[in-house]
Structure 1
Amino acid sequence: MMSRVRRWLDDTPIDDPVDRRNAVFMQLLLIFEGLRIPATKLYLFGLHGGYLQAQFFSKARVGASAALAVDIGTDLAMTVSAWFGLWLIRAGRFPLAVAQFVGTMLASGAMAYAAFGYRATDGNLTLIMILALSGLMLGRKALWTTYAAEALILAVSVAPLTAADPGHARGFLSAFYDALPMRALTSYLLIALIVDRAIDALRQSLGESERQRRQLALEIAERERTREQLLHAQKMDAVGKLASGVAHDVNNVFDIILGFSTERDRLPEAERLDGDVRAVADALEGIELAARRGTAVCRKLLSFSRRDVASAEVFDVVSAVRELRPLARQSLPAHCQLHLALPHEPRWILFDRSQFELAIINLVTNARDAMPDGGRCDIVLEDRDGGVALTVRDTGIGMAESVRARIFDPFFTTKPADRGTGLGLSVVHDLVVRAGGRTTVESEPGRGTAIRVSLPCVDAPEGTIVPADQVVST
């Protein structure tokens, strides 16, 4: 039975955890007051009606009939307020339930004190209950508002001063002090101070606990993301090792293909070949070219995968981008075009080459993901502000301002969970900043994205011979 009652009291649609806990006690209090007030009144009128009329109502300030109406009216109002408050709590409106009950009790107390006077009314315990209730259930502001209301009620309920001559200051002050309910005012003030301090301590403790809970939840979520990223990194490491082994084996196959395709050199001169033999020679030449492209990709993949320890070096960014072209081409699907625009002369930078290549591949793969229906990816290298600027531009879907402002945040991604980790652009940004450069983004929804990496140039290494050939890839 008690467990069912407890479950019924707990079953309230209240979101605030403090209010939900207080709702159990408040419901019991309202039920008690809703039953006690009418039961007490019925008992007094049934057994002591004559005594009440002679000793209580007949001595009221407003007359016996008005006093009886005030007494019955205030008790009825408090009873209705108690049951209405219970209904409000069951509907999930806890603050309103408490506020209307406290307000009704204060209004009823004001009417009773005004009708019967402070000396004739035994309502001190009720006022103390309302004072504590408002503070504990509604907070510090409600506590002091209730205290001010009760002080006003007590002040207007005192009897008029009866000093014979107000001109005699001593007698007037003595009568004024005797008339005021100083003991009640002082007691209520002490109770309000105690409740205020208790509320403040409890609220601070609750706030600190809530902050710690949120911090713990964030740490748990961050740890879970870190664990997932570690697992992803381990998978990528395994995939990298597998790809390295596969690239080595495939490279050996390409070497064999190259060996056989170069046997066409044993054929007679081209002008002496008939149609069928010429077709075979052309086919062998095509096979050789394709095998050489495959060999270049495999060698680049091997060199890309075996650079593990960060080591800054001075290298030509033009040749680095050019050599990375086969791997960048493989990162894009067939329906996406790749175009390179590079200067003729070398541009020297101080950077870890493997990290630079990783940054370029990250930018190209992001461009790929932004062009699900195909498009064009441009890699442009140009001189700017005394350094070199590498821009990777796509014709994809672009991004909104809210997304663009966060793309360098770790773990931020708009891709599905199985498509992105939110670390690619963050890694690129960190690498560039550590190298003394900067990263900027230009993007509009539907008009593509351009990510520009600006890096300072350095002097060419001593003894470097600048190649005479011009390097422009389109």
Structure 2
Amino acid sequence: MFERLLGWSGRIPINDPVDRRNAVFMQWLFVFEGFRTPLNKIYMLLFDWSYLQSTYYDQAKLSPGMAVVIDLGTDVAMTIAAWLGLYLIRLGRFHLAVGEYLAVLLGSGIIAYAAFGFSLGASSDQILIVVLALAALMLGRKALWMSYMMIMLTFIVGMTSNYIFSRAMYVTAGPYGELPSLALDYVQIVVILDLSVTSLRKGLAESNAHRRQLQHEMTERERAQEQLLHAQKMDAVGRLASGIAHDLNNVLEIILGFTTERDRIDDSVTERNKDALMKDALVLADALDGIELAARRGSSICRKLLSFSRSDVTHVESFDATDALRELQPLLRQSLPPTVRLSIDVPDMPLVINFDRSQFELALLNLAANARDAMPNGGECSIAVAQKDSSTMVLSIHDTGVGMSKDVRMRIFEPFFTTKPSGSGTGLGLAIVYSLIDRAGGHIEVSSAFGAGTTFHIYLPVAIAKAVDALPA
């Protein structure tokens, strides 16, 4: 119940974060005062009437009956002002709500001091201090000093009432003899509130400025991250270019080889028998099938390269990691020299993950390039995918290269750290891989020793619901 009330008080159409927080407090204050003021007066009328009559009503400057009317009237006005303030806050009019409530309090104070005089009105000083605090904290400097001036006016009205109805009291001292000391006392309170609230607001403004600057820097960092990822893709494309050109050349040689089959058809078709024509037609059909297959293979290689190299922003999607690895196999093959054998082991069941697909491919290509560099004399690069448990899959990349020491293994994910000669590496490949895996909610581990090769284990959360949907019926 209490949590529901807190949630209700926080659902207000106020955009400014400071006003929104203050509005939550003011709502509860309005509710409290909306009940306290009338209930307290009812209690006093029922159980302390004699005290009210002897202390206040009979001592009022006006008649006792008029004093009762003024007392009850100001309490009713303050009660209405409290509930009206709550209503205005629910409409999003925070400053208006606080302003009208303070105006009613100050107006009621002036009326009370006029009716009961300054000495009897001194018990309401607590309310005047509350007015100053609310004006400073909720509305700011201008409202604070305006409230101070209204309080001084209230004291003047009370002292004037005393002078009009009790002139004998001021034979030796004027009617406003206490005003200077009161003005100094209250101005001290106002200055303290003013300086304190101004410091708080300046500190908040500086904090907001730092927050906006941090958000800007984070945005710039994300943009730089995207540009770095694209640069890494372009670097991978450059490494793949020679292999792609070799494959495309093979495709074109196959197409050219099949096109020579047209020479089997003579210009003098009429002199050939029907069987020979049918045989040549079948050979030509086979040649056209071969041309189509070769052309499709070349087109597939080009599309994959273009898709990988495009400069898209991060786009997380759900896809089957096993299918992605199968489709990436040609590019993985191209990233390795002929002396390195590539083996890929994937399960039959789908393993759906949430990842940016091009970044997933970039991570694998970077790890394959790392394996290539670790095997200058050739070897084997093995990539395997398996399900570790119901919520995690593991992707392992193993090479039979030279391995690495413990010191190097502890630093391989540091940006710009590399063991390659100058000009042979940037030291960003594995740092990028680590960042991508971490952003996807996974983690990466490495095991290596001199002469025993290196194995990277990438653990990624499985999109369980979608993986279940993808299972064959």
TM-score, scaled to structure 2: 0.48
The structure richer in helix per residue is: 2
TM-score, scaled to structure 1: 0.48
